[in-house]
Structure 1
Amino acid sequence: MRRVKVKTPGTCGEFIQGWFDDNPCLVSCPIDRYSSITIEEGPGNLNRLKPKTVKLIEEVFRLYAIPNEEKEKLHITMDTEIPLEKGMASSTADIAGMAAGLSEYFGLGLTPKEIGALCAVIEPSDNLMFSELNLFNHLNGAVLKNFDGCVEADLIIVDFHGGIDTMSFNETQDDYSDKDLETFSEIVNLFEKGVRTKSLKDIGAACTKSAFLNQKRLKKQYLEEITTLSKRFGGLGTVIGHSGTVIGVMYKKENFQEAEFIKALKTHIPETAYAELYFNHLIPGGITVSQEEI
């Protein structure tokens, strides 16, 4: 018998998100907070899984003509460190991880691009399945632009109260003026330049501009205060869940006054406004899969 283990990162929302060349798109912001899945032979337990996960499994079985009786032999265990309904890709991590796990278990050889397209069939999805960054149409799974690299830095995430159902979040262009579309094109170019030249300053500036552009779609009450504090204490910029509730501050430890920032944050923002502070790292994306005989 075989056992497949899968580890998929969550995100602190998106580095950038908007409309580009008539496409809704985003660049996910992967962090070291994970969804874990184990797939092995045993008593079937699909009825205990989340509906979106079951829908993904059904889609894989249909597309790749896997006999339905195999479902009765799948015993799946899932666990996650990713908070739900915060814009931190908890759902995408689950379904992308499941797609990668089933690919390994049944020898399907799915690529990150194929996994991304599969996930987009189920719901608007993040592109955390790719090891390098790209501009991703989260509605149909198309890759619009590849970026040569990834971003690695430190991150403080403020988890504000409340939650957003991304399935019902407005995914139309109606909220974007021609000026907004021009601004987002500039944001994409600045982000691309930052990744290419490994300039965290340019990357942080692009993220912050995208966060403020998103304010008319889903306003975050304390974005201005957090951005001001980030600049004051040496942060690189703010990263948000564009369709969620989290705000992150990107920084490098050697240049950031972390203790002073936390103290000022607690002075300027009521502790009743947020649930928790997370201390994480920005990492390359990609799904880790391993198989063992048992």
Structure 2
Amino acid sequence: MYHQMFDGADAAQNIAEDGQEPRTHSSGALCCGTFGELLQGQLPAGSFPGDSHFLVTMPIALFARAHFTPIPGTRSVTVYPSHKLKSKQLAENLVSALGASGGILLLQSELPEGKGLASSSADLVAAARSIARCFKRRIRTSLIEKLMAEIEPSDGVMYPGVVAYQQRGCRLLSFLGQMPPLAIVGIDEGGTVETVDYDQRRGEISASQRAEYHELLDRARTAIPHGDTVTIGKIGTASALLHQERAPKEHLNSMLKASEATDALGVIIAHSGTMSGILLDRMTADFPWKLRSVLAHVSGFNDSPKIFLTM
């Protein structure tokens, strides 16, 4: 598994000691996406410093890749595809913070845009990683989070494993461990969701529901490191049902029925996206049968279900 090399540098180390730009080379990097969120909501006031909105990631084996080639003497960054303006903004801000040159940033992603799979966050993290590797720097994760927070809410995919994360402020709450090997049979309800627009429209959550989210987060803190797939499935289902009151998924009831009919673990959704999925434990003896059964049920109301693997 690939992890970033942001941590471990003092801010002063971000600039070459002799004041000259460091030796550079063209360099590539990648970042995984996340299938929506296992859990997303709002905690009771005062639970943690800063904003009370949070999420828990569900890392999947789909990736954004970035390749940065420096061009000495320039401070601008040219990005391909050209519509990746958020990546351009982060790249230019990062090379400026490093006192380094701009260049050309090539992006390629397996993550569809606007679906809730962290495509934008993965682009940004992959871009930052490629620039850091190009200039052979170890950069504080906090610097990357600061630059990302200036652009949009983030999904916490800069960290390895599963994390609880404050997406608005781009701050880590805690590491929760490694997700056990799961498969997700996912469907797309169509359309796209822009992260910034969604976040601005989202209202506050009632005190009683905040208490429910706090309890679910506590359960996740225990279930994930212990590989308790049954509880993980229940957490995902509970979060999807709580969110249904605010942003309904058209096929959530059908997905719930398919999950129950096949004895799957439960459901998971992209809270700020268009995806929903059914969770399966890949390590059980009956996984092949359950996978075929879930696909058969889902194909009854969606003609293109896809399989995603956790990591």
Give the TM-score normalised by structure 2: 0.81
Quote the residue 1:286 is aligned against: none
Distance 1:200 1:85 in 2: 28
Which of 286, 289, 294 is the equivalent residue of 1:255?
286
Quote the residue 1:56 is aligned against: 90
Which of 125, 131, 153 is the equivalent residue of 2:182?
153
Quote the residue 1:278 is aligned against: 306
Quote the residue 1:164 is aligned against: 193
Greater alpha carbon shift after TM alignment, 234-243 vs 34-43:
34-43
Structure 1 unaligned spans of 5+: 284-294
Structure 2 unaligned spans of 5+: 1-23
Distance 1:28 1:171 in 2: 21
Amino acid at match of 1:142: R
Quote the residue 2:5 is aligned against: none
Amino acid at match of 2:212: T
**Alignment check: 8 A CA contact 1:17 1:25 kept:** yes
**1:7 Cα shift?**
1.6
**1:150 Cα shift?**
3.2
CA distance 1:212–1:36, change in 2 (3 Å)? same
Amino acid at match of 1:59: N
Could you say which structure has the higher helix fraction? 1
Quote the residue 1:124 is aligned against: 153
Q: Secondary structure at the match of 1:169?
A: helix
Distance 2:216 2:258 in 1: 22
**Alignment check: 8 A CA contact 1:120 1:139 kept:** yes
**Alignment check: 8 A CA contact 2:77 2:88 kept:** no
**1:231 Cα shift?**
2.4
**1:52 Cα shift?**
0.5
**Alignment check: 8 A CA contact 2:185 2:294 kept:** no
Greater alpha carbon shift after TM alignment, 209-218 vs 41-50:
41-50
Alignment of 1:48-197 (within 5 A): 48=80, 49=82, 50-66=84-100, 70-71=101-102, 74-171=103-200, 174-197=203-226
**Alignment check: 8 A CA contact 1:155 1:280 kept:** yes
Distance 1:218 1:97 in 2: 30
1:13 lines up with 2:36 in the alignment: yes
Quote the residue 2:17 is aligned against: none
**Alignment check: 8 A CA contact 1:236 1:250 kept:** yes
Amino acid at match of 2:296: K
CA distance 1:197–1:108, change in 2 (3 Å)? same
**1:192 Cα shift?**
1.1
Quote the residue 2:12 is aligned against: none
Bigger relative contact order, structure 1 or 2 (CA pairs below 8 A, ≥6 apart): 1
Distance 2:308 2:120 in 1: 19
RMSD: 2.1
Distance 1:83 1:187 in 2: 29
Distance 2:61 2:302 in 1: 27
Which of 26, 31, 34 is the equivalent residue of 1:3?
26
Q: Secondary structure at the match of 1:84?
A: coil
Q: Percent same amino acid at aligned positions?
A: 23
1:199 lines up with 2:199 in the alignment: no
Amino acid at match of 1:10: G
Quote the residue 1:219 is aligned against: 248
Which of 292, 297, 310 is the equivalent residue of 1:264?
297
Quote the residue 1:46 is aligned against: 78
Aligned residues: 273
**Alignment check: 8 A CA contact 2:33 2:61 kept:** yes
Q: Secondary structure at the match of 1:205?
A: helix
Amino acid at match of 1:64: L
User: Over residues 74-128 of structure 1, what are the superposed CA-to-partner deviations in whole Å (9 max), with x where a residue is unaligned?
Assistant: 2322111111100111111111111111111123312445433432221111111
